[in-house]
Amino acid sequence: MRELRIERGLSLSELARRSGVGKGTLSELESGGRNPTLETLYALTTALDTPLSSVLIGTAAGAWISGSAVDAVLTERFEDAAATNEVYRVRIRAGTVQQSAAHAPGTEEHMVVLAGTARLGDVSSPRLVSAGEHAHWAADVPHLYAAPAGDVEAVLIVRYPAAAGTSGKDRPDE
């Protein structure tokens, strides 16, 4: 996280301001004194204009990251000149809701529900998606994941478009 912040020329205070994460928390995360939640990682990577997977690479294979409602493990990352694509195995815990802030412009999410029924998508118009069904939505607006009745198991694909003038390989997206 520190390398990305410095690479972008941001002070700890500026990253705290942009992400809404406290400066003390950032300092502890950078020093390894604290483990971040999924929500904290998304807030930071969005502020750094980099994909979530850019801070997960190098973590233990199969390591789950947890948030208030969602547990996820990165299973694949693919980059090309057009985009960075991340594939996650996801569990949404029963009776929970996670509201995610907007990601970088042009970001899209796709989810295939493997078990259970999820409420997914734009916070203003989420839809119910049952096992065997697929949903997709713009992730550059606030969106949510919910499991209204029982745990949900799913596969999530997040697609971040490459920045104009850079290749997917050079762009460390959100």
87 plus 154 within the same structural domain: yes
Per-residue pLDDT, averaged over 152-172, amounts to 69
Lowest mean pLDDT among 8-12, 82-86, 145-149, 150-154: 8-12
Neighbours of 15 (CB within 10 A): 22
Q: What is the Cα–Cα distance from 97 to 144, expressed in whole angstroms? A: 7
Domain of 69, CATH number, reads 2.60.120.10
Q: What is the Cα–Cα distance from 41 to 45, expressed in whole angstroms? A: 6
pLDDT of residue 51: 81
Backbone dihedral angles phi then psi of residue 123, each to the nearest 5 degrees: -60, -25
Residue span of the structural domain in which 16 resides: 2-56
Decide: 118 and 134 in contact? Cβ < 8 Å.
no
Q: For tokens 């815990």, what's the residue?
A: 93
Domain-embedded: residue 170 = no
Q: How many CA atoms lie within 13 A of 53 on its CB side?
A: 24
Domain-embedded: residue 169 = no
34 plus 77 within the same structural domain: no
143 plus 119 within the same structural domain: yes
Q: For tokens 């994909």, what's the residue?
A: 51
- Report the number of distinct structural domains present in the chain: 2
pLDDT of residue 48: 86
Residue 124 reports pLDDT greater than 60: yes
Helix and strand counts by DSSP (H, E) for the chain: 5, 10
pLDDT digits (tens, 9 = 90+) for 1-28: 888 888 889 998 999 998 889 998 898 8
Residue 162 reports pLDDT greater than 80: yes
Among residues 13, 33, 56, the one where a domain terminates is 56
Domain-embedded: residue 75 = yes
Domain of 31, CATH number, reads 1.10.260.40
pLDDT of residue 170: 39
156 plus 99 within the same structural domain: yes
49 plus 92 within the same structural domain: no
Q: Model confidence at 173, in pLDDT bands (50, 70, 90)?
A: very low
Domain-embedded: residue 81 = yes
30 plus 70 within the same structural domain: no
pLDDT digits (tens, 9 = 90+) for 68-106: 899 999 999 999 999 999 999 999 999 999 998 898 899
* Polymer length of the chain: 174
Secondary structure class of 56 (helix, strand, coil): helix
